[in-house]
Chains A and B, each alone.
Chain A
Amino acid sequence: MNHSSIIRASALEYVRGVTSGEFTAEEFLSETLSRVGEAETRYHAYLRVEDSQRLLARAREVDRGIKSGQKVGLLAGMPVSIKDNICMRGSRTTCGSRMLEGFVAPYDATAVSRLHAEGAIIVAKANMDEFAMGLSTEFSAYGPSRNPWNTEYVPGGSSGGSAVAAAAFECVASLGSDTGGSVRNPASFCSVVGYKPTYGLVSRHGLVSYANSIEQIGPIARTVSDAALVLGVIAGRDEHDDTTADAAADDYLEGIEGGVEGMRVGIVDEMTEGADPEVARAVARAAGDLEAAGASCERISLDMVGYSVPSYYTITAAEAASNLARYDNLRYGYDLPTDGYEFNSYVAEARGRFGPEVTRRMILGGYVSSAGHAGRYYLKALKVRAKLTREVADAFASSYDILMAPTVPILPFRIGEKSDDPVSLFMVDLNTVTANLTRRPAVSVPYAVSAGGLPIGIQMMADSMQDKTLLRAARALERKRPPLPEVPD
């Protein structure tokens, strides 16, 4: 790697470095922007990079603030990126869809205003599967992102752009969104940390809804502590989102080095049994690491996990059909004159811009929640979800602090390899959807790289609002794991 090494700093290193005068925010940002220019020719992590002159002016402001001893916020000019389904005032927000090609957000998402309030500099909007439906970014209407570990491979999804950007030093950290694994899956495939908070910990105000009953915005970063730092900035009660928990802003770095001594870890059979052998071996070694650090690990069976994916797809499709109904192109969207249409024909024409995966899920969602079929599909899926939630709640209440499994049962796959086979893609979600359906926090921690040079991540899950426990366990695993090779470039 011949670019300056300062941009490889973790978020904590960045904050230390910039506030101690080791480098300036402007230097760091300008190095980052030149890295973006060079890396984007190969990775396509970003859909749009903000105006560099304006970004650099912000960085200089931070530098002046540091010099004159003013408050510059916890993130002090740190370059971050956000997934393109998170609204930023005055900036286009397309959700990776041609349907919203012309949509400029008129307001800031709460996560964005909180990042800004702590001095972050948002440099770009990251690529994603259209409306967050997918797990490879191949469903982006603007072309797939590529895995920096091997550009022939998918980076995972749907927050693929965010994971690539963090892995390839195109930002220090990024925000993704996780509906069924969309933060953890690409984090696992790109060997970065992806954190899905307890439902309600982070405001969804400004996150374009896909399946609103289960999704959360979550940080993607290069270390567990970096994810905790960013989480602390964006978490907390928000008056714009009635579903946010009544928790005040908190410091998620507090106690993070506390270790796993005495923690009880359950390794979920149903999530490990069918895994790729290299992935399964990684889980076994991770369990050994945690035991060496003082935790006790044992196998646990969760019967309902086998039904989680169909339940997940039924619920998300039903919610998607409702959430995406507003895109009729009447109030915002893209340029399509209305001459010669009446309402129904215009809406039908306008909605033809949705890509095939989004269309598939909306049709499916309309079907499973329609009057004649809801009982057999949607309501049954809700029942499965309720039973799964009970089972998981019992496991935490009676025996375990942490449930562990591979983040994804398989290794990253080649671009194009599975895009014709949506059903087999669905099974990639097996280990991640449980946290969403049960609203529990979960994290993917990079653990190893396969013989073929592809990353393997370990998923940990904790009980509701036990995000600090989860971060502590994830940090312990990160500290104990064997050294990871550097991302090739």
Chain B
Amino acid sequence: MSGSGRGAGGAAGGAAPRPVIGLEIHCQMTSLKSKLFCPCRADYRGMAPNENVCPVCMGMPGTLPRLNAEAVRRGTMIAMALGCAIPERISFFRKNYFYPDLPKNFQITQLDMYGDTSIGGRGSVLVGGRTVGIRRVQLEEDPGRMIYEGASVQNRISLVDYNRAGTPLVEIVTEPDFEGPRQLRLFLQMLSDMVGNLGVCNPALEGAMRADANVSLEGGNRVEIKNISSFHDLEKAVVFEIARQEAQHSRGLEVAQETRHWDAARKITAPSRLKEEEKGYRYLLEADIPWVRIDAETVESLKSRMPESVSEKRERFVSRHMIPPQVADVLSSDKMYSDLFDAARTDKNARELANIITTDLMGLAMASSAAAAAPAAARDDVGGDAQKKKHDDPASDVIRVDGLRELADAVASGQMARNSAKQALHEMAKTGKSFAEVSSEMDLGLISDESELLGVVRSVISEEPQAAKQAYSNPNTVNYLVGKVMQKTRGKADPQVTLELLKRCLLGD
């Protein structure tokens, strides 16, 4: 750790020392059914204030925490995926401090202290070719949320919503192994792919993944930045903070060891108002939760339950399903789309299916995400996660996966052109109709009838005399002419038949 150490000074004016960055990431286990210590819902979103509470998470006198065993299992899976040592037993600690969002005025969390350990010990992951050390992975409860009302500070009213209090969090503490924002970005992308892939967290939910950063210049004091609400802001906050510290350094000033918060509106970090300064949290073992033993058997069974990692998945897509690496990158990093891919693929349609999903379907979802309708329609297709299902008709899931499979099959077998597939997909998403209905209604089938195509081929040849002449010697020019035919038929010409006809016309002339 880069503790207090010597000041940033020393050689003022020289080249600034390299930045050293560490992260503490809080990831809500939004995919669990219940909170960490009570039966209230883990995903509190969309509920009226203080509706998702019970005597336990309200800290009523006499209540005791009841540890959610599934949270321990999922947390262990995250620790495994980060290459952490899995301890034989874990325990919990109380972090004692007064704050209105903490119903018990202590938070139940984990530590490595008094010989007791958190759910994941030291580990490491490879990010962009460099190793990032993981200090520990721990389980803890989220506090409630403060809501402030009132026009000015004088008549400000503080309200507390305890719906979030007790939501299971996995905290991942890294070593200060990051040198810059690019590496941070890669790591956070990897991490959100990972927790999504493990079925622990839906990183797209607002506030589901949050981070604090520790930033220092090598040899200098460490600054902790809190209150960063998105990964996008994290990068900005870190960039700002490095620049601020470098400016201090160049003026020969020491960087103060302090906690700063990110002011998203002003896009700066500013010193935090005194909250609970390092008085210490009087950590005590949480005696209400006995040691949880994680024996070899449990570890083995969790290993067998671990889904394929994102990198394993990417590797499978490339080597087994012959998908181009760039497409596999995109597809493997999204659990929902890759599940959809695996559900709809056959040996023959895999390549086309991957293309349709990564360009047409993702494009469709992105285009209409402003309208916020289509992504939901697509998400329901996966059907894997009960929580994500918005309708209870299981048949509709099958139809959707089937529709996608039929579409890809049609393209792969040459019955439908790529361009038409896109249109058909739009229509299916919009109307909910089956592939068969859409393809017959829209006349999306290929024109493979020679007599129908011959006229188009002839007119293209007469419109492009130059190209027609070169086609004898240059095969690329033939492709150019095929493209022209496609244009005229709005993509419906059967490429195979078109090529045959072109060759016949050109050679036959």
Give A residues with C-beta under 8 Å from B.
85-87, 93, 95, 100, 103, 105-107, 109, 204-209, 212-213, 239-243, 318-319, 321-322, 325-326, 328, 330-332, 343-344, 347, 366, 369-372, 374, 378-379, 382
Contact = CB atoms under 8 A, between A and B. Distances in A.
Contacts, number: 106
A86 B288 CA distance: 17
B106 to A, nearest CB: 6
A208 B279 CA distance: 27
B11 interface: no
A321 B282 contact: yes
Contact of A330 (B55, B100, B106, B290): B100
Contact of B62 (A206, A239, A369, A370): A206
B288 A212 contact: yes
Interface string B92-103: 001010111001
Contact of A321 (B67, B96, B279): B96
Nearest to B160: A330
A343 B146 CA distance: 12
Contacts of B288: 209, 212, 241-243
Interface in B29-67: 55, 58-67
7 contacts: A105-B61, A322-B106, A325-B105, A332-B60, A332-B61, A369-B284, A371-B279
B282 A331 contact: no
A89 to B, nearest CB: 10
Nearest to A382: B114
Contacts of B106: 322, 325
Contact of A318 (B62, B66, B284, B290): B284
A331 B59 contact: yes
B455 interface: no
A112 B504 CA distance: 94
Interface string B250-284: 00000000000000000000000000000110101
Contacts of A325: 96, 98, 104-106
A149 B186 CA distance: 77
A322 B97 CA distance: 9
B104 A326 contact: yes
Classify chain B's interface size.
Answer: 20 to 34
A326 B282 contact: no
A371 B280 contact: yes
B61 A103 contact: yes
Contacts of B61: 87, 93, 95, 100, 103, 105, 208-209, 326, 332
B114 A343 contact: no
A319 B280 CA distance: 16
Contact of A379 (B60, B65, B114): B114
Contact of B60 (A106, A369, A371): A106
Which of B61, B66, B158, B287 counts the most chain A CB atoms within 10 A?
B61
A322 B94 CA distance: 8
A389 to B, nearest CB: 14
Contacts of B60: 105-107, 331-332
A208 B114 contact: no
A115 to B, nearest CB: 15
Which of the listed residues A212, A326, A378 has the most CB atoms from chain B within 10 Å of its own CB? A326
A321 B98 CA distance: 12
Query: What 6 A-B pairs come out closest when comparing CB atoms?
Result: A371-B280, A213-B287, A325-B105, A208-B61, A206-B62, A369-B282
